[in-house]
Amino acid sequence: MDAEHDDAELRFLNYYRCDRCEHEWTDEWSCMCDDDCPECGARHMSPYKSDDLGEDAP
Ligand SMILES: [Zn+2]
C-alpha cells in the first residue's frame, strides 16, 4: 500500500442497484467506481447515478 497517495478524498456519492438481488445502496468514493453488493456479495456493480460532492473545486 502506498501511504503517500491521498485516496481519502471522497467526492462522489454513487448510487447502486444490484443486478442479482435488486438491493439498493449508496457509497462515497473518490471516483465513479464499481462496488460490491453488501447484501449478496455480487461484485463489480456499476453506479447508475453519481452526485459530485466537491462543489468548491475550480
Ligand atoms: Zn445483491
How do residues 9-38 score in pLDDT, each as one tens digit?
778 999 999 999 999 999 998 878 899 999
Whole-number Cα distances in Å, 27 to 2, 3, 4, 16: 23, 22, 23, 8
3 domain residue, yes or no: no
Cβ atoms within 10 Å, residue 37: 20
More confident site: 55 or 37: 37
21 domain residue, yes or no: yes
- Dig out the grid coordinates for 13 from the structure: 456519492
CA of 57 relative to ligand 1 center, distance in Å: 34
pLDDT at residue 45, rounded to an integer: 96
4 domain residue, yes or no: no
**If we measure between CA atoms, which residue out of 31, 36, 38 comes closest to residue 14?**
31
**Total number of domains constituting the chain:** 1
Domain that holds residue 25: 12-52
CA of 37 relative to ligand 1 center, distance in Å: 5
Whole-number Cα distances in Å, 46 to 9, 25, 26, 31, 54: 20, 12, 11, 12, 21
CA of 58 relative to ligand 1 center, distance in Å: 37
CA of 35 relative to ligand 1 center, distance in Å: 11
Confidence of residue 54 (pLDDT cuts 50, 70, 90): confident
Q: How much is the pTM?
A: 0.74
34 domain residue, yes or no: yes
